[in-house]
Chains A and B, each alone.
Chain A
């Protein structure tokens, strides 16, 4: 029997609410807002309250896939990265850098978001970068 309350940060938006993930024998069963977190002081929005749900969602992608003819096919990281890079290069050469846009996410870290805008601006050459909170 092991019940743990693991203190962490809500993965959804940039506020960074403190949450406890309730883990019963290795299975996450509930989110509880932290009362000591100065950010949310024991409160959450509906996304925060369900922050644990996507972890066990059967729809969650746990490995890389390539979509071919509307169908997802399992593939290796090398394959998907090569494919993405060559298609991005092709599109950029044919239609120019502004034909490509990047969508970052508040669920990622600052560093990951920084790297994505770097890829957009420095590697591709476009300012078309936005994030999920504006969708």
Chain B
């Protein structure tokens, strides 16, 4: 699979369709983000798998925003899984990236990763290699719903109380791009308190992920205290879907219901 992707990237460079390719590289056993500017560099190219599939994923789409802001005229290739493509689709809609300047090179996740992620679409549309594997419906949300109101409150209050307010969930999130973050708003969440106000901090983030979270799970992986953030935002996504018929990242042409300015209300 990797060889085919490398060939594809080489072709993109040769046909001058991109000036640089954002992917992952393994150097001295360490896998990290890497901007390839020369096809000769592609040795060590990595898909982000080390001990198990997808265990070394990084928020490449987020990194691309900073790059494209500085180089708006350049065209970039980028390595994508299903979730990376969903993130990019949202970032195009929110005008954080220009679709015409981004070339996605997609590959599917294996079934075991799809199951671990409970991912409804473990492959991107921009697939250049491999087979689409079956999407998985989440069971974790169900398990928590079955705890009943009191059980759920206890479950979440206990987990939120472990938060060390590192902002890792926000920092790593591909669709967190606000210039001013409400999680750092002193009037809403007083600073200097750990854990941050429970449950306001987490509900603010959850509410802001409505219509945005593309369910990549990077937040949960970055959380040092193991709060099941992904499950929380999966439920948020279910609510938005049932109320507005919208799932972030899936439809290219459909705008987020939170991205539409309605009519000016009558005075």
Contacts and interface: CB of A to CB of B under 8 A. Distances in A.
A48 B224 CA distance: 12
Interface residues of B, number: 35
B178 to A, nearest CB: 16
Contacts of A2: 35, 37
B71 A7 contact: no
Contacts of B50: 36
Given A24-B66, A24-B67, A25-B70, A5 B164 contact: no
B29 interface: yes
Interface string B1-37: 0000000000000000001101000010111111101
B222 interface: yes
Nearest to B26: A36
Interface in B97-147: none
Given A1-B20, A49-B171, A35 B31 contact: yes
B55 interface: yes
B223 A43 contact: yes
B55 to A, nearest CB: 7
Given A1-B71, A25-B70, A36-B31, A46 B166 contact: yes
Nearest to B226: A43
A5 B25 CA distance: 10
16 contacts: A1-B19, A1-B35, A2-B35, A3-B22, A3-B67, A5-B33, A7-B30, A24-B66, A25-B70, A30-B63, A30-B66, A32-B172, A37-B30, A44-B166, A46-B167, A48-B166
B56 A36 contact: yes
Interface residues of A, number: 27
A20 B37 CA distance: 19
Given A3-B35, A35-B31, A49-B171, A43 B66 contact: no
B246 interface: no
A55 B32 CA distance: 22
Interface of B: 19-20, 22, 27, 29-35, 37, 50, 55-59, 63, 66-67, 70-71, 74, 164-168, 171-172, 221-224
A29 B70 CA distance: 12
Interface string A25-47: 10001101111110010111110
Contacts of A20: 32-33
A72 B32 CA distance: 42
A43 B227 CA distance: 13
Contacts of A32: 32-33, 58-59, 172
A36 B29 contact: yes
Lowest 10 CB-CB distances: which A-B pairs, in order? Answer: A3-B35, A43-B224, A36-B30, A35-B56, A46-B166, A5-B32, A5-B33, A20-B32, A45-B166, A36-B31
Contacts of B58: 32, 35
Given A35-B56, A43-B224, A49 B66 contact: no
Contacts of B35: 1-4
